[in-house]
Structures are given as structure tokens and as C-alpha cells.
Amino acid sequence: DAGVTQSPTHLIKTRGQQVTLRCSPKSGHDTVSWYQQALGQGPQFIFQYYEEEERQRGNFPDRFSGHQFPNYSSELNVNALLLGDSALYLCASSLEAGSLLYEQYFGPGTRLTVT
Amino acid sequence: ILNVEQSPQSLHVQEGDSTNFTCSFPSSNFYALHWYRWETAKSPEALFVMTLNGDEKKKGRISATLNTKEGYSYLYIKGSQPEDSATYLCALGYNQGGKLIFGQGTELSVKP
């Protein structure tokens, strides 16, 4: 059973460019959340997708956008990259209609470096 | 502003030592508290999910407790082993299936 996968593993971009990160959820999961982890901090919630719609959003600017596809996979897009966007981006999947004690399963992350 | 604090930031112990660290949070209504173990270059791995005051969970040598009234959770590792070296994250969930608010983590290093 494949867990959460993310691509690419590493990425280097220049300020002002745009980037797309991809996530495939754990088999059977229908909800995808994205987190940003800057150096020395815990992961910060960006947004969550369910039924192809953004359901919750953290305190991130509109430069951060996403999409969820019918197969539940998801993309995170960041426009007009800033140096401060350099971070590890984590994707987590869960089952909306799951048990009371739901868990979010994380992928290994995409390391984005903005130069 | 919700703040989840973990202490200490880092911990260095010898193999065989028992250790514990703390997750503190505002004592308010929340849905669940999660503990994750995150080894370098791997995915964060869920250890425990707790919801009720007084909850205690155990997995092998690792256990956790939750006190919602005073706003803290403890994670204990008995007889630490080098393979326990990792960053341990706690996170609060305020609704089922919703966002998690993470602490900054405790980095544990166990020397043989």
C-alpha cells in the first residue's frame, strides 16, 4: 500500500518565478493538506482540499494556491517566489469520513530553495 | 493567537536513559492532540492521537499522557535507543479532519 508521495524531492527556483509541487495521497484517502516548514519551526498549515475544493486556509498570501484532482491528488502552486518561500513543503492526506481519531499521513516533503 | 510550545528544543541522552518532553498549549477546547516522530529524510510518522483528559497511550517503549485542563502533554521514552533519535512534534487539531497546529518540535539525539 503506497503511502503519501510527493514530487519533486528538491527544487531550486529564482525569485519571481512560479513553482508547482505535487502530492499523491495514501490509497483510499480523499483529503489533502499542505504545510510549510521553515528552518527551525514546526510545520505551518497552508490549506486543505476536499472534494476538489479548498476547505480551510491558513495565514498565507494569495500567491499560494492549490488544486485537487478527481483522483484526490493535489498540487500546490506558488507564484512570484520570494526568498522567504524557501522551505520544506509537506503534504498530508487523511480520510474525511474516517474514524473519530483521524490521523494525517505525511509525505517526505519537497525541499524548495529560492535564490 | 494559538501557540503550541514544546520543550526542550533539543535533548542529548545516552543509550539506555529514559527521557521525557513536554507539549504545552492553551487550555481550551480542541479536538485532538497528535504526536509525530520525524526521522531525518523521512516522512513524519504518527505516534499517538489523544482526545480525552487523562488519556494515556503506549507503543512499545514510548508512551504519552494528556492533561487538557492544565494544557500539556508528556511524551516518555523508556530506555532510549539510537534509533529513537528523531524530532518529536506535537500538534493540535481543532476539528475533525481539519488543520493541525504544530509546535516547533523536540530534537532527540541518543548516543550509543
* pLDDT 10s digits, B50-104: 988 888 999 999 999 999 889 999 999 999 999 999 999 999 987 666 788 999 9
Q: What is the pLDDT of residues A61-100, one digit of tens each?
A: 999 999 999 999 999 999 999 999 999 999 999 887 554 4
Q: Is the pLDDT of residue A30 over 80?
A: yes
Mean pLDDT of chain B: 91
Q: Which residues of A60-83 are buried (b: 16+ CB within 10 A; e: fewer)?
A: beeebbbebeeebbbbbebeebee
pLDDT of residue B22: 97
Contact A31 B97 (CB under 8 A): yes
pLDDT (0 to 100) of residue A107: 96
pLDDT at A101: 53
Q: How confident is the model at residue B46 (pLDDT cuts 50, 70, 90)?
A: very high
B1 Cβ contact list (under 8 Å, min separation 6): none
Q: List the grid coordinates of B87.
A: 524530532
Question: Shortest CB distance from B49 goes to which of A3, A58, A103?
Answer: A103
Of A96, A106, A109, the CB nearest to B97: A96
> What per-residue confidence (pLDDT) applies to A37?
96
Measured between beta carbons, the chain A residues lying within 8 angstroms of B43 are 3-4, 105-109
**pLDDT surpasses 80 at B1:** no
Average pLDDT (A5-22) is 97
Which of B99, B106, B107 best probes binding to A when mutated, by most A CB atoms within 10 angstroms? B99
pLDDT for residue A27 is more than 70: yes
Residues of chain A in contact with residue B42, where contact means CB-CB under 8 angstroms, are 108
Q: Is A109 in Cβ contact with B36 (below 8 Å)? A: no
Q: Give the C-alpha separation, A30 to A72, whole Å.
A: 6
Q: What pLDDT shows up at residue B9?
A: 95
Query: Does B35 have pLDDT greater than 90?
Result: yes
Phi-psi region of B51 (alpha: psi -120 to 50; beta: other; left: phi over 0): alpha
Residue-level pLDDT at B93 = 84
